[in-house]
Structure 1
Amino acid sequence: MAPRIRAARDGDTEAITHLQRHIIDTTLATFATEGRSLSDWQDDILYGDPPILVAEAEDGQFLGYATYSGFRSSEGYRHTGEHSIYLTEAARGQGVGHKLLSELENRARAAGIHVMVAAISSANPAAARFHARCGYAEVGRMPQVGRKWDQWLDLILMQKILREQGTAPPDSAQRSR
């Protein structure tokens, strides 16, 4: 499967919303119980902040999406992003996630992001393995900080430094919400 990676368009909002809702409703991969609304996704796509990338098959079939936002609201964290990546079941294990994450990292790097963080549910060990293969290191584990479906869940924090040591991003780097 050779996916095409591109910026999300208005026509993608339904597929993005549906995939997010499916993941929320059927897995412990996210602690969320409510997804974002169609209009929230439309606004983000319209304004391009945060950046949202879509993976699609050669025939145009939607395979998944990735986005990142600021890690924390304090100005001192403006060069740190936290990403989310969601794939359809058909796309998993096909190299789609790697290609999608790689392009997201390239765009984040160009926008002045120095470190990318992944916050992963302990109930999703495949995601932790995927991120390790993509160069992310586990830097922390927060026991029982999430609760969903009457279960306490740990949060695994992983990060990847996107820029070479000593290469400071411009202070004017654009910051996603």
Structure 2
Amino acid sequence: MNIRTARPADAAAIAAIWNVIIRDTLITFTTKERTEATLAAHISERQGAFWVAEEAGKVLGFVTYGPFRTGPGYATTAEHTLILAPEGRGRGLGRALMHKAMEHAAAHGIHVMVAGISAANPGAVAFHAALGFEQTGKLPQVGRKSGQWLDLIFMQKTLPSS
């Protein structure tokens, strides 16, 4: 397994992983699938803050982070996205990707990392808790997908100063 910086050429593999989550689960509230072009641009914009886990040349998951909110007061707070393909789960890839993102974020002045997690994804809550994230909020019924109201759980972790 290799963790490396994502490249625009990874957009198709990332879209294939992400779009299944968008289409078939309540893990994300969005219903709009990602296009390769949009993802390639997103990877380019976040160059240095977007990584993939790959094995034998196949992308098995990714992590990226970016601004939590706009405005200078939030400049040291970031929110991340972590998604794994089914064959990448339960192998430590998520943990390795998150450590890479948190290490990079701390080295670049990020003080707090935020996770916005669908309450329909208790595995992600447990995963983040195991990484030292604490639940700091719950917004009931702020999302709607597949005819269901969804709660959003916020978790955060203060990163070590670099």
| Category of TM-score, reference length = shorter chain | over 0.9
Provide structure 1 residue ranges, at least 5 long, that are not aligned to the other structure: 168-177
Matched, 1:48 2:46: yes
Q: Return the TM-score normalized by structure 1.
A: 0.87
What is the aligned partner in structure 2 of residue 65 from structure 1?
62
Mean alpha-carbon deviation: is it higher for 118-127 or for 39-48?
Answer: 39-48
Whichever residue aligns with residue 6 of structure 2, its letter is A
Query: Aligned-pair distance for 1:50?
Result: 7.2
What is the aligned partner in structure 1 of residue 32 from structure 2?
34
What is the aligned partner in structure 2 of residue 95 from structure 1?
92
Contact 2:141–2:151 (CA under 8 A) maintained in structure 1: yes
TM-superposition CA deviations, 1:107-132 (whole Å, max 9, x none): 11111111000000000000000000
- Separation of aligned partners in 2, 1:6 and 1:42: 16
Mean alpha-carbon deviation: is it higher for 113-122 or for 29-38?
Answer: 29-38
Query: Aligned-pair distance for 1:45?
Result: 2.5
Whichever residue aligns with residue 142 of structure 1, its letter is L
Higher fraction of strand: 2
- Separation of aligned partners in 1, 2:124 and 2:151: 14
Identity of aligned residues (%): 45
Query: Aligned-pair distance for 1:10?
Result: 2.3
Aligned residues: 162
Whichever residue aligns with residue 10 of structure 1, its letter is P
Query: CA RMSD for the aligned pairs?
Result: 1.4
Correspondence list, 1:90-129, <5 A: 90-129=87-126
